[in-house]
């Protein structure tokens, strides 16, 4: 049965892909988006990639009247509106807390007045902090924050109290959150607020914890977006990708096409209600490996990555997804390999123009003492 769907942040990277998938399945789609300049440029125009079938309301999720208007006649809500980026969140504290936490509260007050049949909120792998690890003896333990003194020595691995380097393993939803940045804290608040209020007001709610999403339409000029888009922006300007620490930190990179399919599968999955589910590829790669892949598909092999040997406060060492719960609960199966996804991304990058603001962002973090 077709639904009338609202996507907050629906003109953005992930939201627009979810809109496309919903439209393909016969749903009506409305987007509420403030077209923030950091993502959409100073002109704040409707993005050309946003389907003309999407009704766009330009407004802020913190604006009660804009939210009430956007909710009118809607029976499903995807809440994707958020300010993103770990590093920037550590100094734009008020902005992140306002948009992510207050914006979610305003939306939920609107939903308390006008309940819907399903609420899906975008959470983040950042809520885990460090992922799950295994000791040499085989014991499974949660990763803990690395001490500043250790980072200053350039000792990047997560270690036990005895000093043993721990081996990373896939992280399931049962891992206790460890909130290492303002961004992570705000995403966890979004997730918990939605699940809590959804239960209280009878709105079936699902939280999806996205891992490192990449693909067409990422904001290439935003230096706090996903690492693949940042690498691409540097390479488009014939500059080396900047890699923090030693580049051997491991992440789960998932195609936005797979993420969009997962988001839509949630609509009919009653077993998912009240749950937080990982959405990743189920595979891990080092950041250095991924930089090499991006260079290759973009034909920029001659540009060597720059390994900074520095760490950003709020960053973690290893975290990649155990996707077993999503497979069992919503029938989620990633279909796009990293190689295939990067080839598609490279095709889209041809002809794209990116303002490379990575050096400025790094200087900002350095000046504020947020790198070690």
Every domain of the chain and the residues it spans: 4-367
Q: Where residue 223 falls among pLDDT bands split at 50, 70, 90? A: low
Q: Which of 107-111, 198-202, 290-294, 366-370 has the lowest mean pLDDT?
A: 366-370
Integer Cα distance of 224 and 246 in angstroms: 19
**Closest C-alpha to 61, from 82, 78, 37:** 82
Q: Which of 25-34, 143-152, 222-231 has the lowest mean pLDDT?
A: 222-231
Q: Is the pLDDT of residue 134 over 70?
A: yes
Q: Give the strands of the sheet with 167-169, arranged side by side.
A: 140-142, 132-134, 167-169
Q: What letters, b where the CB count within 10 A reaches 16 and e where it falls short, cover 241-254?
A: bbbbbbbebbbbbb
Q: Is the pLDDT of residue 359 over 80?
A: no
Question: How confident is the model over 172-194, as a mean pLDDT?
Answer: 96
Q: Is the pLDDT of residue 59 over 80?
A: yes
pLDDT at 153: 95
**Closest C-alpha to 202, from 267, 119, 102:** 119
For the chain, give the percent of residues with pLDDT over 90.
Answer: 81
pLDDT at 314: 81
Would you say 99 and 182 are in contact if contact means Cβ atoms under 8 Å apart?
A: no
Question: How confident is the model over 128-141, as a mean pLDDT?
Answer: 97
Integer Cα distance of 45 and 163 in angstroms: 53
Would you say 325 and 172 are in contact if contact means Cβ atoms under 8 Å apart?
A: yes
pLDDT at 357: 67
Could you tell me which residues are beta bridge partners of residue 32?
8, 57
Residue 60: partners with Cβ closer than 8 Å, 6 or more residues away: 34, 66, 103
Q: Where residue 224 falls among pLDDT bands split at 50, 70, 90? A: low
For residues 370 and 328, the model is more confident at 328
pLDDT at 147: 94
Residues 260-304: pLDDT tens digits? Answer: 999 999 998 999 999 999 999 999 999 999 999 999 999 998 999
Q: Where residue 358 falls among pLDDT bands split at 50, 70, 90? A: low
Sign of CA dihedral 61, 42, 90, 171: positive
Would you say 209 and 252 are in contact if contact means Cβ atoms under 8 Å apart?
A: no
3 state DSSP class of 205: strand
3 state DSSP class of 111: helix
Would you say 210 and 124 are in contact if contact means Cβ atoms under 8 Å apart?
A: yes
Which CATH architecture fits 4-367?
Answer: 3-Layer(aba) Sandwich (3.40)
For residues 105 and 1, the model is more confident at 105
Integer Cα distance of 134 and 145 in angstroms: 16
**Closest C-alpha to 40, from 74, 16, 6:** 16
Phi/psi of residue 133, nearest 5 degrees: -135, 165
Question: How confident is the model over 250-256, as a mean pLDDT?
Answer: 98
pLDDT at 2: 85
Q: Where residue 355 falls among pLDDT bands split at 50, 70, 90? A: confident
Q: Where residue 354 falls among pLDDT bands split at 50, 70, 90? A: low
Phi/psi of residue 62, nearest 5 degrees: -85, -10
C-beta neighbour count of 360 within 10 angstroms = 11
Distances in whole angstroms, Cα of residue 303 to Cα of each of 171, 230, 240, 266, 292: 33, 15, 6, 41, 10
Q: Is the pLDDT of residue 313 over 90?
A: no
Mean model confidence pLDDT for the chain: 93
Q: Is the pLDDT of residue 352 over 80?
A: no
Tokens for 77? 């809500």
How many residues appear in the chain?
Answer: 372
Integer Cα distance of 257 and 133 in angstroms: 29
Question: How confident is the model over 179-206, as a mean pLDDT?
Answer: 97
Tracing tokens 């790669």 back to the chain, one arrives at 285
Listed in order, strand segments (DSSP E) in the chain are 4-8, 28-33, 55-58, 76-79, 118-124, 132-134, 140-142, 167-169, 205-210, 212-214, 242-243, 250-251, 253-255, 276-279, 285-286, 306-307
């Amino acid at each position: 049965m077709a639904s009338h769907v609202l996507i907050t942040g629906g003109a953005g990277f992930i939201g627009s892909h979810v809109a496309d998938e919903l439209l393909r399945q016969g749903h009506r789609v409305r987007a509420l988006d403030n077209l923030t300049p950091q993502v959409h440029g100073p002109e704040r125009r409707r993005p050309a990639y946003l389907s003309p079938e999407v009704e766009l309301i330009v407004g802020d999720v913190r604006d009660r009247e804009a939210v009430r208007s956007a909710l009118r006649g809607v029976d499903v809500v995807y809440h994707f509106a958020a300010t993103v980026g770990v590093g920037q969140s550590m100094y734009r504290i008020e902005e992140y807390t306002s948009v992510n936490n207050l914006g979610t509260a305003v939306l939920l007050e609107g939903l308390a007045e006008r309940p819907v049949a399903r609420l899906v909120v975008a959470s983040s792998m950042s809520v885990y902090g460090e992922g799950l690890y295994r000791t040499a003896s085989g014991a499974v333990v949660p990763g803990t924050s690395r001490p500043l003194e250790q980072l200053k020595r350039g000792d990047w691995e997560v270690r036990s109290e005895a000093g043993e380097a721990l081996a990373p393993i896939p992280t399931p939803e049962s891992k206790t959150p460890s909130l290492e940045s303002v961004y992570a804290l705000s995403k966890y608040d979004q997730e918990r607020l939605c699940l809590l209020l959804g239960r209280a007001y009878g709105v079936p709610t699902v939280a999806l914890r996205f891992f490192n999403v990449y693909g067409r339409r990422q904001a290439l000029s935003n230096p706090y977006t996903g690492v693949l888009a940042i690498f691409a922006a540097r390479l488009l300007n014939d500059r080396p990708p900047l890699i923090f620490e030693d580049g051997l930190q491991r992440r789960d990179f998932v195609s936005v096409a797979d993420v969009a399919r997962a988001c839509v599968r949630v609509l009919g999955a009653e077993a998912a209600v009240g749950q937080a589910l990982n959405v990743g590829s189920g595979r891990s790669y080092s950041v250095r490996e991924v930089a090499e892949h991006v260079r290759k598909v973009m034909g920029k092999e001659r540009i060597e990555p720059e390994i900074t040997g520095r760490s950003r406060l709020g960053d973690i060492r290893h975290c990649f997804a155990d996707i077993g719960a999503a497979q069992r609960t919503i029938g989620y199966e990633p279909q796009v390999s990293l190689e295939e996804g990067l080839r598609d991304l490279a095709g889209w990058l041809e002809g794209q123009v990116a303002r490379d603001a990575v050096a400025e962002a790094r200087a900002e973090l350095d000046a504020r003492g947020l790198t070690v």
